[in-house]
Amino acid sequence: MKAFLIDRYGKSHGRIGEVPEPEPGINDVLVEVHASSVNLLDSKISKGEFKLILPYTFPLIMGNDLAGVVVRVGSGVRNFKPGDEVYARPPQACIGGFAELIAIEESALALKPKNTTMEEAASLPLVALTAWQVLVETARLKKGQKVFIHAGSGGVGTVAIQLAKHLGAFVATTTSTSNVDWVKALGADVVIDYKQQNFENALCDYDVVLNSLGPVELEKSLSILKPGGQLISISGPPTAEFAKEQKLFWGLGWVMRLLSSGIRRKARKKDIRYAFVFMRASGAQLEKITKLVESGVIKPVIDRVFPFESTAEALTYVERGRAKGKAIIKLI
């Protein structure tokens, strides 16, 4: 089968090549991939930024999202059958959405929302699960609370705004000048044009911040949170708790404790809780997201659709950070 893969870590995005078809295990579902989507995580993986915590082997098939049709199921699978339309974020140890076929654990899979195309469904798993695990699972966001979401026009931002509004929160976000009205239409109550204004001078007394940017924005976010607030980052630095959850070598836990010590110390001085969230695959949570999509609460946001042959171009496009929503890879 054809797949987009890398042979080593580095600046090169990878290549399309022929690889053996995957053989599903007892609890696996073999899926014919119709569409996938590109995330910044794909670029970071290809450059080796996660090689200490995700020990992949080469050649490595890339891709952290997919939507498609079930071809075959393992003998232990109970909830899916051939012909089912499904979507998923594969478990982090078994990525491979940029391929014609993928064998994926049943526990990571969910039926595709009935009111979406394959491309729309493929845009959702990673970003929707990230938003869910930050806002619902970690922050436990409540009605009437104030949440600030960095980069509202990005993949995570577009879904997080919609989810936060559904939860009854007051939502602020940032975007560029040309996207202000567009992001307001997603549901944001306050949209700050970062080219014209600094968010830290415009906002105050927020309960939660979802940070997806760098260390400068992370530290500035402390100034807008009220005592008892939560600073939750999906871009680091990771914590010792994360290392424990991932069952990493104890030395890495010590390193992560050190890496996050500065922001944790500054957060404690302001009575703010800092947490790092590294999204994990979950079919059960995707089922809840499916209901929100089918009811119209969450609408997929697609920027561009690329043919499979242009996967490298799609990765470059997403790296530039200008996409409004998601970039999609169409295989079928």
pLDDT at res. 249: 83
Model confidence band, residue 12 (pLDDT cutoffs 50, 70, 90): confident
- H-helix segments, the chain: 40-46, 118-122, 125-132, 155-166, 180-186, 199-202, 215-221, 240-245, 250-259, 261-269, 283-294, 311-319
pLDDT in tens, 56-94: 999 999 999 999 999 999 999 999 999 999 999 999 999
- CA 224/CA 149 separation, integer angstroms: 12
Residue 238 scores a pLDDT above 90: yes
- CA 201/CA 158 separation, integer angstroms: 23
Residue-averaged pLDDT of the chain: 96
Residue 217 scores a pLDDT above 90: yes
pLDDT at res. 332: 96
Domain made up of 2-124+300-330: CATH architecture: Alpha-Beta Complex (3.90)
Question: Is the pTM for the entire model greater than 0.95?
Answer: yes
The CATH number fitting domain 126-276, selected from 3.30.2290.10, 3.40.50.720, 3.30.470.10, 3.30.2080.10: 3.40.50.720
Mean pLDDT on 100-106: 98
pLDDT at res. 13: 78
- CA 327/CA 320 separation, integer angstroms: 12
Mean pLDDT on 92-117: 97
pLDDT in tens, 32-54: 999 999 999 999 999 999 888 88
* Region for 236 from its dihedrals, namely left if φ exceeds 0, alpha if ψ lies in -120 to 50, beta otherwise: left
Task: Report the largest interatomic distance among the alpha carbons of the chain, rounded to a whole angstrom.
Answer: 58
pLDDT at res. 53: 84
- CA 155/CA 244 separation, integer angstroms: 28
pLDDT at res. 31: 98
pLDDT in tens, 299-323: 999 999 999 999 999 999 999 988 9
- Residue 17 CA, chain-centre distance (Å), reads 26
Percent of the chain residues past pLDDT 70, beyond the cut: 100
Give the tokens for residue 275. Answer: 């947490």
pLDDT at res. 147: 98
pLDDT at res. 67: 99
Mean pLDDT on 98-111: 98
Parts of the chain belonging to CATH 3.40.50.720: 126-276
Give the tokens for residue 26. Answer: 């007892």
Residue for token digits 């996660």?
A: 50
Residue 135 scores a pLDDT above 90: yes
Residue 155 scores a pLDDT above 90: yes
Mean pLDDT on 185-194: 97
- Residue 71 CA, chain-centre distance (Å), reads 26
